[in-house]
Structure 1
Amino acid sequence: MLQHLALSTVISKLLYMAASLILAATVDMPPALNNCKLNEQDGACFTDIAERRFVFLDAATSRCQMIADKYLVEVTLKELSRAATPPYVLQSEQLSFVIAACKRRDARALGLQQPNRPRLMFPGTKWCGPGDEADSFDDLGELREVDACCRDHDQCPDNIKPQETKHNITNDSGFTISHCDCDDAFRSCLTAAGGEAAEAVGLAYFSTGFIKCFRLAPPVVACVTWSG
């Protein structure tokens, strides 16, 4: 059974761990199943209420391990349940905060953040474009609903950067590609936001043909010749 923490306890623990853990790049394999404890010595496991995302903050190895594939999350949660070390359940926005901290820490470590470099950002937003111009996770532009969609999509825990190989997939494009579940959530968010700005952002992202997504699935056995 998944555990629920009081909001104040979660926030205080998250702030402590974000300040104390040195978060590194994402990895593919699920974390060690005996370390899912909420303390600064070992780290902590988190999922969201929908159980669509999973994050492990590992103090021992200084790594931030993130899973976004629904199947892998399901398998990991089952194994954690068997091991009697269930993760802590956060609200979606709280887990997004954890993921944002992971990505920002990683970007600083790799020297990818360049504050003086001009960015092509959609007018009225701070997250709808390459990178972001926000001062914090809660910093949104005038088009708050649309910007929140872009911000949440930026926090997709499973993506592949340009020229990076992950899950045996090589991204040879010039754009970061995300797990298809993240793109589906992005599309739904923009649709719910509505309006010309949401439509423009959606068209720019989904209709250019430049940006693709990936999904992990077992091999498919299919008919390759017509047998009718």
Structure 2
Amino acid sequence: MMRNTTRFKKAIKINFDEMMGLMDSCQQLHTPSLEQRPEAKKISRNARRVPKNLFSNTLNNPVAIFSGIVPGTKWCGTGDIAATYYDLGTEKSMDRCCRSHDLCPIKLRSYQNKYSLINNSIYSKSHCECDSAFYRCLKDLNSPTADVMGNIYFNIVQVPCVEHVEDSKRDAAPGKQQAMQFSKQQLAY
């Protein structure tokens, strides 16, 4: 894969809105199954050790629940257990929603200090626009499993999000990083 990128001289810098647009476009694409991808042969050692029945499509799987991953998924929960970008659980549609949310370009992981903010919680906090996209994605699935995920994330835990602070000065210095703040999520599932 990386061999094909040698013709590019340097990375192109894009802003947050452009990145969100790209992520939305990727979300709309059909993802080939893992078995058809050459990357499938490069699954990590840890992923190989996981028992096949661990990711059964039930909500009463205590092993998956205690590992912090929603049963039937590899991207939904505290972190992810996917070996590659294309590695999805049996709940593929919901996993795509979680994968896109996990890859939010503006995010503070637990106990991370970034954007002049400190996240002292046990879970990551994503940009409010990423949370909104996650909300829409789960709602669009119209499935019981997605509804459980949405209720936990948006109604029970009510994870705060990160948002840009409107600059009171009209001429902010060019190249200056825009201030961020935590915000209470306004979405109820």
What range is the shorter-chain TM-score in? Answer: 0.5 to 0.7
What do residues 10-30 of structure 1 show as CA deviations (whole Å, max 9, x unaligned)?
xx5xx3388x9xxxxxxxxxx
CA distance in 1, matches of 2:70, 2:135: 16
Question: How far apart are residue 141 of structure 1 and its match?
Answer: 1.0
- When you count strand as a share of all residues, which structure comes out higher? 1
Runs of 5+ in structure 1 lacking a partner?
Answer: 1-11, 21-36, 54-67, 71-88, 95-113, 221-228
What do residues 63-95 of structure 1 show as CA deviations (whole Å, max 9, x unaligned)?
xxxxx6x9xxxxxxxxxxxxxxxxxx798329x
Q: In the alignment, which residue of structure 1 is the partner of 2:145?
A: 197
Q: In the alignment, which residue of structure 2 is the partner of 1:158?
A: 106
Counterpart secondary structure, 1:206: helix
**Paired residue for 1:149, among 83, 97, 117?**
97
Q: In the alignment, which residue of structure 1 is the partner of 2:126?
A: 178
Superposed structure 1 runs of 4+ greater than 4 Å apart: 114-118
Are the aligned partners of 2:153 and 2:159 in contact in 1 as well (CA < 8 Å)? yes
What do residues 132-175 of structure 1 show as CA deviations (whole Å, max 9, x unaligned)?
12221111111111111001111111111222222222112111
Q: In the alignment, which residue of structure 1 is the partner of 2:68?
A: 120
CA RMSD of aligned residues (A): 3.5
Counterpart secondary structure, 1:136: coil
- Scaled by the length of structure 2, the TM-score of the pair is 0.59
Instruction: Say how many residue pairs are matched.
Output: 135
CA distance in 2, matches of 1:93, 1:184: 17
**Paired residue for 2:18, among 52, 62, 65?**
52
Which one scores higher on RCO, CA 8 angstroms, separation ≥ 6?
Answer: 1
Query: 1:53-68 alignment to 2 at 5 Å?
Result: 53=19
What do residues 40-78 of structure 1 show as CA deviations (whole Å, max 9, x unaligned)?
xxx211659x9431xxxxxxxxxxxxxx6x9xxxxxxxx
CA distance in 2, matches of 1:16, 1:136: 18
Q: In the alignment, which residue of structure 1 is the partner of 2:37?
A: none
Question: How far apart are residue 211 of structure 1 and its match?
Answer: 1.8
CA distance 1:181–1:120, shift in 2 (3 Å): same
CA distance 1:51–1:172, shift in 2 (3 Å): closer
Runs of 5+ in structure 2 lacking a partner?
Answer: 28-45, 51-65, 169-189
CA distance in 1, matches of 2:4, 2:163: 30
- When you count helix as a share of all residues, which structure comes out higher? 2
Are the aligned partners of 2:110 and 2:124 in contact in 1 as well (CA < 8 Å)? yes
Q: In the alignment, which residue of structure 2 is the partner of 1:16?
A: 3
- Scaled by the length of structure 1, the TM-score of the pair is 0.50
1:38 to 2:38 alignment: no
Q: In the alignment, which residue of structure 2 is the partner of 1:93?
A: 26
CA distance in 2, matches of 1:90, 1:16: 23
CA distance in 1, matches of 2:108, 2:82: 22
Counterpart secondary structure, 1:208: helix
CA distance in 2, matches of 1:135, 1:142: 15
1:144 is aligned with what amino acid? K
